[in-house]
Amino acid sequence: MPNILATRIDNRLIHGQVGVTWVNHIGANLILVADDVVANDNIQQSLMDMAAPNTVDTRYFTIQETIDKIHFAADDQLIFLVVRTPQNVLKLVEGGVPIKKVNIGNMHFSEGKKQITSTVSIDEDDAKILRKLHELGVELEIRRVPDERSKDILEFI
């Protein structure tokens, strides 16, 4: 069983909050970004590597690669799994990745989305996917930084 310490939805993927604050808070030694675009973009990977502490390894896998490889993680890999969208979390869960809880940190506002907190905006598809994840037994919290009180997303959808 892989040691997934935390899973976070953040459409910025690795940045200061993820690379320093969350990694230190949970004690991760590996940030795994599961994202089909970034997995094939060396420039984005290099930029994200700059935001990660040099004491932490980074991996960039597609969603399918994550499903295929996560169960081969070494016992000493303490994984912080970061994804861009709830849709990707659902694909991972349905693919057998053992995700029990998801921290929703940042989902940008865009046309057709409703802002539900200062950093999280969702549309109907997002709400449907989040409800489905809840039905599958995944705990869902909104929390930007570790010292902030978490909010149950079900209060908003």
| Whether the Cβ atoms of residue 105 and residue 83 lie closer than 8 Å to each other | no
| Residue percentage of the chain with pLDDT more than 90 | 92
Residue 14: pLDDT band (50, 70, 90) is very high
Q: What is the dihedral of CA 61, 86, 55, 119, to 10 degrees?
A: 140
Asked about 15 being catalytic, the answer comes back as yes
Residue 9: is its pLDDT beyond 80? Answer: yes
Phi then psi for 20, rounded to 5 degrees? -115, -65
Tokens of 27: 């004690």
Q: What is the mean pLDDT of residues 89-104?
A: 98
CA distance 68 to 92: 10
Of 142, 147, 108, 118, nearest to 21 by C-alpha is 147
Q: Which fold has domain 3-147?
A: Fructose Permease (3.40.35)
Per-residue pLDDT of 27-47, as tens digits, reads: 999 999 999 999 999 999 999
The pTM of the full predicted model, rounded to 2 decimals, is: 0.95
Per-residue pLDDT of 47-76, as tens digits, reads: 999 999 999 999 999 999 999 999 999 999
| Whether the Cβ atoms of residue 30 and residue 58 lie closer than 8 Å to each other | yes
Average pLDDT, the chain: 95
Q: Where are the alpha helices (DSSP H) in 22-123?
A: 23-26, 42-51, 63-69, 86-94
Residue 19: pLDDT band (50, 70, 90) is confident
